Amino acid sequence: MNLSLAPDHIIKIKDVYVLWFQKSNKYIVLSEDNFTILQNYLKSKDILSFINNSENYSTESSKNIYAEVEQLLLECHEEKIIEPFKSESLKDSSNWLSKIYNIKGVILKVNYASQKILSLIHQQFAHLENTEKKIFKAEFHIVLENDQLQLFKNKHHCGSFFKADYHLLQGKFAIELLCETTDTNEADWLGAFHASTISNQREAIMLIGESGSGKSTLSAILMSAGFNLVADDFTPVLSKSQTICCYPSAISIKEGSFAIIESLFSDNSEIFVSKSPKGKIRYITPINKNQTKEIHCNKIVLVNYKKNANTTLEEVSIEKLLNILIPDSWISPIPENAAYFLNWLKQITFYELTYSDNEEVILKFQKLLNN
């Protein structure tokens, strides 16, 4: 018996099995036939009993399969060692560029050590800046020291990031901000998905796709048609409720979509030219008329913008969608949260959207949300 190599969680969704391994935080998606093979491996005491139980395969094939399953399970049990960061202390300075933000009534102060560092975070939250509030719930400092970006919350060091990995600083800051604004801890989060999310008053739809697939532009189009913008490019999900929490950053629109956006919005966005790490970006203030902080989501749409394409929205296989969703997202490695993630996946319907026409895509989403 090879049960010591068994996955920690298994769930069947439609015609595939999704397995999770705690040591590596890896997910495996298997067809029914491959899952049967894996089960056979786990209950076989040696290769001979595996071959005897593998009636559908030749002895030679069974030997190859046995070796691969063993290799796969060993790979999934390799522990991922993450080096702890070296603790730093916050040094006094009088040159902070300080900003105060009002995020749904929670006041946060962020001190940036330079204009360059400010450009990594502030532009997304500029619409929440509040110059009148003096008392804040939490204070952040972000500084470049020892050639690394250092993040402090209430003067406690909470992360070091290489300059080129500033997106990891943004991610850590986002999680810390969410913990402050929702009175939660990092362990309360199921994950943070590389996705945008829109909603009506009852339910949310998550939009996924590779960078440049048009997620943010589509979010802005749908927001202009009256949908709520719950999150742009960073969608946090709480574990126990499996609900999406509003993340109040502005929608970031790259230069290629400026013309579309200018036809939809006249005056509630600003252009930040260059020196944003992504070049010219236009930031659109999010509109979310839903007063509740969390919202359920049971539809995920894989977005493809394709010039001159007919607009189609069709159900798609879970494996196609997970192949995009998981490698681009943070999913909590805590076993309980991984189980919540799999449970949540079971309730989701997966779609693939191809579009080029704004009016047609709005109609598709109106219909999808009414369903």
Partner 1 sequence: MNKKMQKNQITRKEALKKMGKYAALTAVGTFLILSPTHAAQGSPPDPGGDDIWN
Q: Is 360 an interacting residue with respect to partner 1 (CB under 8 A)?
A: no
* Structure-block tokens of residue 75: 């790979």
Judge whether 108 and 101 are in contact, CB under 8 Å: yes
Task: Determine the interface stretch with partner 1 among 99-107, 114-122, 131-139, 301-309 (rule: CB under 8 A).
Answer: 114-122
Q: Is 23 an interacting residue with respect to partner 1 (CB under 8 A)?
A: no
Pairing of strands 148-153, 189-193: unpaired
- Contact pick of 208, 326, 342, 345 for partner 1 (by CB under 8 A): 326
In sequence order, the β-bridge partners of residue 283 are: 252, 270
Whole-angstrom distance, CA of residue 100 vs CA of residue 133: 7
Site for partner 1 in 294-323 (CB under 8 A): 319, 322-323
Query: Closest approach of Cβ 283 to partner 1, in Å?
Result: 13
Q: Is 212 an interacting residue with respect to partner 1 (CB under 8 A)?
A: yes
Closer by beta carbon to partner 1, 281 or else 369: 281
- Contact pick of 59, 84, 146, 164 for partner 1 (by CB under 8 A): 164
Greatest Cα pair distance in the chain: 76
Q: Is 222 an interacting residue with respect to partner 1 (CB under 8 A)?
A: no
Whole-angstrom distance, CA of residue 121 vs CA of residue 149: 13
Q: Is 278 an interacting residue with respect to partner 1 (CB under 8 A)?
A: yes
Residue with tokens 């956006």: 261
Closer by beta carbon to partner 1, 140 or else 234: 234
C-alpha pair distances (Å), 279 with each of 122, 148, 273, 276: 15, 22, 7, 5
Query: Closest approach of Cβ 71 to partner 1, in Å?
Result: 7
Whole-angstrom distance, CA of residue 251 vs CA of residue 52: 58
Q: Is 251 an interacting residue with respect to partner 1 (CB under 8 A)?
A: no
Number of chain positions touching partner 1 (CB under 8 A): 62
Closer by beta carbon to partner 1, 141 or else 194: 194
Q: Is 330 an interacting residue with respect to partner 1 (CB under 8 A)?
A: yes
DSSP 334: S
Task: Determine the interface stretch with partner 1 among 1-9, 25-33, 290-298, 304-312 (rule: CB under 8 A).
Answer: 25-33
Non-local CB neighbours of 13 within 8 Å, separated by 6+ positions: 318, 345, 346
Q: Is 327 an interacting residue with respect to partner 1 (CB under 8 A)?
A: yes
Q: Is 192 an interacting residue with respect to partner 1 (CB under 8 A)?
A: yes
- Contact pick of 24, 102, 130, 148 for partner 1 (by CB under 8 A): 24
Non-local CB neighbours of 318 within 8 Å, separated by 6+ positions: 13, 14, 16, 18, 29, 345, 350
How many Å from the N-terminal Cα to the C-terminal Cα in the chain? 47
Amino acid at 272: F
Whole-angstrom distance, CA of residue 129 vs CA of residue 328: 30
Site for partner 1 in 84-113 (CB under 8 A): none
Positions that interact with partner 1 (CB under 8 A): 16, 24-34, 37, 61, 64-65, 68-69, 71-72, 75-76, 80, 82, 116, 119-120, 163-164, 166-172, 174-175, 191-192, 194, 210-212, 233-234, 252, 274-279, 319, 322-323, 326-331
